[in-house]
Structure 1
Amino acid sequence: PPFHLVDSTLREGEQFAGSRFTTNHKIKIAQMLDTVGVEYIELSSPASSAVSLEDHKLLVDLNLKSKLVPHLRCAKPDVDLALQTGVKVFHLMFATSPILQKYSHGKSIDEVITRATEMVSYLKGMGMEVRFSGEDAFRSDFEDLKRVFTAVLEAGADRIGLPDTVGVATPFEVYDAVKRFRTLFPQAQIQFHAHNDAGCAIANSYAALMAGATHLDVCVLGIGERNGITPLTGLIARLYSIDRSSVAKYNLKALKPLDEYVARLVGVDIPFNSCLTSPTAFHHRAGIHTNAIVRSAASYEIFDPADFGMDRKIDVAHRLVGKNAIKHRAQQLGLTIADDLLSEITWEIKTMSDQERLNDQFVDDLLREAASGQRRIKHLYATEGSTRPIN
């Protein structure tokens, strides 16, 4: 189904522990997101600080293709500040769960409806695009959400938002909730925002899409409050693996430099299990795997690394290596080595690796010496538990 990505690195990402984006950082991130092609870029409220307000104006002046969207309370002073910046899309929010009604704002659902509809009507009267989100939707009462969403849609809201604010929902619950509201409001756009507290952010976002969501929130590296939200590359990976054409509208090769840039800014490495852009995303090691990979990459890869500006790596400097991986490495180096000698080299690498950590240079030197006729092979005996190389 058609969908739009709402990147929240400049809003949710600002809430990540240790994050502090300068004006120049924000400009570069926004430009890089625009290069990727995300449809919306969400911004922190201009009421957050004097610099935030000025940054909004500077970002609007960039004239990006991506729509810039401030994240706002249903408070007229905040909305009026955002209007000064020249944005045309507005994200309004109000907590609707009993626990946040009690401990966050102290308002009843009737008061939430009054405030929300006033701001929606105010903005729609000026022709703005408006989303209203019920914060903590998955701990909110369904009937309360139904009343609130009915009211804001009648007031003219373009879109309703279902955020899993504390990451409590399962994919099944997300699918059920989005499906119910899609049935109730067939003409409305539905936005979904998934926190990753229980590790379900990507799965929940995909479930929301399958149930009828039209807008999905993401963040570079998944950074955000606590342990963050749905990562941009993670959702792209999920969608690409099912239907490559569904993400053809995005510049996939722009994802890696974007992840690397934001990672530097917030002082983290790209996690090893980060989809697509991790240094190990296309790294193959086990002999059985590498034996198949050198014949057909599709045997153990569901992505083409070239589509993402990434390279495949076949690791050969370890005890799990197979002869075919060593042969493949020799071919990469332009070397011709007889099969029996390749078997001996593989055996030596395995035996040496049982004793110490090896590196690629060691293997390359071994192959070059063998190819030149220098028989360095010493026929070392295996330690207990080692096996002969597998052809």
Structure 2
Amino acid sequence: MENRKVKMNEKTNLLELEEHMYPLVDVQSPNVFRNLFPYDEVPKIAFNDRVVPHHMPDDIWITDTTFRDGQQSREPYTTEQIVRIYDYFHKLGGPNGKIRACEFFLYSKKDRDAVEKCLEKRYQFPEVTSWIRANKKDFQLVKDMGLKETGILVSCSDYHIFYKMKMTRFQAMFHYLSIVRDCLDMGISPRCHLEDITRADIYGYVIPFCLELMKLSEEYKIPVKVRCCDTMGYGVNYPGAVIPRSVQGIIYGIMTHAGVPSEMIEWHGHNDFYKAVSNSTTAWLYGASGVNCSLFGIGERTGNTPLEAMVFEYAQLRGTLDGMDTTVITELKEYYEKEIGYTVPSRTPFVGKNFNVTRAGIHADGLLKNEEIYNIFDTEKFLNRPVLVSVSNTSGLAGIAHWINTYYKLPEEKKLDKECELVKMVKTWVDHEYDEGRVTVITDDELTDVIADCCSKLNYDLI
């Protein structure tokens, strides 16, 4: 204890005792944390009440895996679709490059053509990066494509090291470090994907490995990034939860004990337990500059962290969008539905057809009086999506009035209220439909036909 140095932490202005080094613990049999992950039971979340401090980086950003992890769960995009989506990402990320990078496969001609066309755009952001198998031949492919950074898979749990790779921890580390060195020899910045980190021995393997990565980075004077991959979605953000499930515990350990700077740390989450967004936000709060996302959360199994979600998480944490154009999110949703043929589930936040649509009559009455009562924010301003009401047997007069005002974009002086004769006539028709046994929502086309007929009978000019 007496030989350990005391130094000042410039961020917290606190004196801290220098931590001891963490050597590799080369176990003879795998540590699969069976107490936390009994396969024949639901995984367990345990606590030891050890908490770590918040450490929000000076700069945080989003990176994208739509063209890599996102393509592992759906039919491949065409070259033209990839380039178009990349253009949207550039516009969405804004002049400050809040969408910092996109990763691409390089194995098919289609993938390489897409990379070349995206590079021709000469956008500073998102930077075009790749994901490859870890061998010299693939490094040469990255070099030939003119890319500066590539992802490399370095699975880190004993599940992968012992059961999949049939290696010991020492053998796996030696293997990975030699691959990273090959990458650095080519002048390419490696992004090390620490697969299955939420089932890994953080202090017995992950931190010793990251310490060696930082030594290589210093030796070559080339950034070596660390991507923390919550491959199975086991991460939790509860204060005092034990590692390896604790997101903040993982980020703190890599940053504080392995010396990886925030700008070199990235979180990649999956949504198996509905925690992808909260875990990604937690990674930001505790020291990771980057969170890796996929558009609409499309990804393997339950999907990745939705990119659009982290755009609004960023704004809530920072109090600003920093130049991001959120209306592009709606443009992307429309492009996917019209050009790609992918339908976003209707209740998906920010992008689903019904995310800001209410069917309850009492809610519609509140919307008619003041839309702030039942709308999360000005969705028309940020997403070009005015708040809507679906007309059904529960919508009431207020819901019908709100639907007409919104659908026909009536100016303030022409907006209808629930006492309007036109609204009452439409409601009489709606009530009759449900009295006859209807169970489905009234469609927009049906309503416009009925409204036109009612206007004709009342000699009412709606427009």
TM-score, normalised by the number of residues in structure 1: 0.83
Residue equivalent to 1:52: 111
2: CA distance between counterparts of 1:194 and 1:220? 13
Alignment pair present for 1:237 and 2:318: no
User: Does the residue aligned with 1:39 lie in a helix, a strand or coil?
Assistant: strand
Residue equivalent to 1:268: 342
Among 275, 284, 297, the residue aligned to 2:358: 284
1:353-380 Cα offsets, whole Å, 9 max, x none, are 343354423652475267548xxxxxxx
**Structure-to-structure mapping, 1:172-211, within 5 angstroms:** 172=238, 173-184=246-257, 185=259, 187-188=261-262, 189-211=264-286
Tell me if structure 1 keeps the 8 A contact 2:271–2:304.
Answer: yes
User: Does the residue aligned with 2:265 lie in a helix, a strand or coil?
Assistant: strand
Deviation at 1:310, TM superposition (A): 2.6
Residue equivalent to 2:120: 61
1:27-49 Cα offsets, whole Å, 9 max, x none, are 222222222222101112x2x33
Tell me if structure 1 keeps the 8 A contact 2:134–2:179.
Answer: yes
Residue equivalent to 1:385: none
Alignment pair present for 1:152 and 2:225: no
2: CA distance between counterparts of 1:123 and 1:183? 26
Residue equivalent to 2:448: 361
Tell me if structure 1 keeps the 8 A contact 2:73–2:300.
Answer: yes
1:147-196 Cα offsets, whole Å, 9 max, x none, are 11111111114421110112222233223322332332363421110112
Residue equivalent to 2:41: none
Alignment pair present for 1:43 and 2:125: no
Tell me if structure 2 keeps the 8 A contact 1:43–1:70.
Answer: yes
Segments of 5+ residues of structure 2 without an aligned counterpart are 1-55, 94-98, 218-222, 239-245
Letter in 2 for 1:205: S
Deviant stretches of 4+, over 6 Å:
335-338
Letter in 1 for 2:354: T
Tell me if structure 2 keeps the 8 A contact 1:326–1:342.
Answer: no
2: CA distance between counterparts of 1:343 and 1:228? 43
2: CA distance between counterparts of 1:108 and 1:342? 76
1:54-88 Cα offsets, whole Å, 9 max, x none, are 54334323322211111133322211211110011
User: Does the residue aligned with 2:77 lie in a helix, a strand or coil?
Assistant: coil
Tell me if structure 2 keeps the 8 A contact 1:321–1:346.
Answer: no
Residue equivalent to 2:16: none
Tell me if structure 1 keeps the 8 A contact 2:62–2:310.
Answer: no
1:179-217 Cα offsets, whole Å, 9 max, x none, are 332332363421110112222211211121122111111
Residue equivalent to 1:382: none
Tell me if structure 2 keeps the 8 A contact 1:254–1:308.
Answer: no
Deviation at 1:139, TM superposition (A): 1.2
Tell me if structure 2 keeps the 8 A contact 1:31–1:64.
Answer: no
Alignment RMSD (CA, Å): 2.9
Residue equivalent to 1:296: 370
Tell me the number of residue pairs that the alignment of Structure 1 and Structure 2 aligns.
Answer: 369
Tell me if structure 1 keeps the 8 A contact 2:158–2:200.
Answer: yes
Among 79, 86, 104, the residue aligned to 2:164: 104
Deviation at 1:92, TM superposition (A): 2.1
User: Does the residue aligned with 1:130 lie in a helix, a strand or coil?
Assistant: strand
1: CA distance between counterparts of 2:401 and 2:379? 22
1: CA distance between counterparts of 2:87 and 2:404? 42
Among 197, 202, 219, the residue aligned to 2:294: 219
2: CA distance between counterparts of 1:112 and 1:266? 41
Letter in 1 for 2:92: V
Residue equivalent to 1:377: none
User: Does the residue aligned with 2:292 lie in a helix, a strand or coil?
Assistant: strand
> Structure 1 115/319 Cα, relative in aligned 2: closer, same or farther at 3 Å?
same
User: Does the residue aligned with 1:361 lie in a helix, a strand or coil?
Assistant: helix
**Structure-to-structure mapping, 1:17-32, within 5 angstroms:** 17=74, 19-32=75-88
Letter in 2 for 1:258: L
Residue equivalent to 2:26: none
Deviation at 1:115, TM superposition (A): 3.4
User: Does the residue aligned with 1:171 lie in a helix, a strand or coil?
Assistant: coil
Deviates more, 1:70-79 or 1:232-241: 232-241
Pick the structure with more helix per residue: 1
User: Does the residue aligned with 1:132 lie in a helix, a strand or coil?
Assistant: strand
Tell me if structure 2 keeps the 8 A contact 1:60–1:85.
Answer: no
Deviates more, 1:280-289 or 1:110-119: 110-119
> Structure 1 111/301 Cα, relative in aligned 2: closer, same or farther at 3 Å?
same
Deviation at 1:6, TM superposition (A): 0.9
